[in-house]
Amino acid sequence: MIIAIDGPAASGKGTLGKRLAHHYGFRHLDTGVIYRAVAWALMAAGEDLHNEALAVAAALELDPEKFGNPVLKTQKVGDGASVVSAFPRVREVLVNFQRQFAADPPGAVLDGRDIGTVICPDADVKIFVVADPRVRAHRRTLEARARGEEADEEAVLADIIKRDERDQNRAIAPLRAAADAHTLDNSNLDIEAGVRAAIAIVEAVRARR
> 81 vs 144, which CB is nearer to ligand DC?
81
The residue among 116, 99, 92, 89 whose CA lies nearest residue 179 is 116
Residue 15 or 202: the one with the smaller Cβ distance to ligand DC is: 15
The SS3 call for residue 123 is: coil
Does the protein bind ligand DC through residue 140 (CB under 6 A)? no
The binding track of 166-185 with respect to ligand DC, each residue x by CB under 6 A or -, is: -x------------------
Draw the binding track, 33-62, toward ligand DC (x: CB under 6 A; -: no contact).
--xx--------------------------
The stretches of the chain forming alpha helices (DSSP H) are 13-24, 32-44, 52-60, 75-84, 88-103, 133-146, 153-169, 191-208
The Cα 116–Cα 100 span in angstroms is 15
| Among 106, 111, 127, residue whose Cα is nearest residue 204 | 127
Of these, 31, 117, 141, 186, which contacts ligand DC (CB under 6 A)? 31
Which segment (46-54, 112-120, 187-195, 197-205) binds ligand DC by CB under 6 A? 112-120
